[in-house]
Amino acid sequence: MAKTVTGCLIIIGNEILSGRTQDINLAHLAKALNEFGVRMVHARVIPDVEDIIIETVNECRETYDHVFTTGGIGPTHDDITSAAIAKAFDLPLVRHPDALEALEKYYKNNQHELNEQRLKMTETPEGATLIANAISIAPGFKIENVYVFA
């Protein structure tokens, strides 16, 4: 009998917990992953709190085959997911050169400037693999069995 490949979604954001924003990612991801043979078996909604993100990611990456996170990788002050993931893996947070190149190209032809705040969207744990973002130019990333999405 084949082993079930498991997935877990960690939804990160105070705006979800407060009710200001409705999550639409769980149903979409669960359905899409099922088509690839990954069964979503667990989901959590957690706040933008570094220690909670680190603890949750570390627990889930040991328990499930694949862990997906949504939220917290944008340019605002409360977008701390990338830094927390780096700490969970005990890796430095770096500006990914391919993400930097993509944002430089995008903002060169855009009415907005690529400022220090937006450069935050290029930061990943060292060694992470970028995941293209079809919605906006800022990529997600993968480190081991953890996939980090906006």
Q: How far is CA 5 from CA 8, 41, 56, 141, in A?
A: 10, 10, 19, 20
Which tens digits make up the pLDDT trace of 44-68?
999 999 999 999 999 999 999 999 9
What is the rounded CA–CA span in Å between residue 101 and residue 91?
22
Q: Which amino acid is at 80?
A: I
pLDDT for the residue numbered 65: 97
Give the list of residues 6+ apart from residue 77 with CB closer than 8 angstroms, or none: none
pTM: 0.93
d(CA 55, CA 130): 23
Torsion, Cα of 142, 137, 24, 65 (10° steps): -10
Distance between CA atoms of 100 and 50, rounded to whole angstroms?
24
Residues contacting residue 127 through CB under 8 Å, at least 6 positions apart? 91, 143
Confidence of residue 11 (pLDDT cuts 50, 70, 90): very high
Amino acid at 77: H
pLDDT digits over 83-134, tens only? 999 999 999 999 999 999 988 888 887 778 888 888 999 999 999 999 988 7
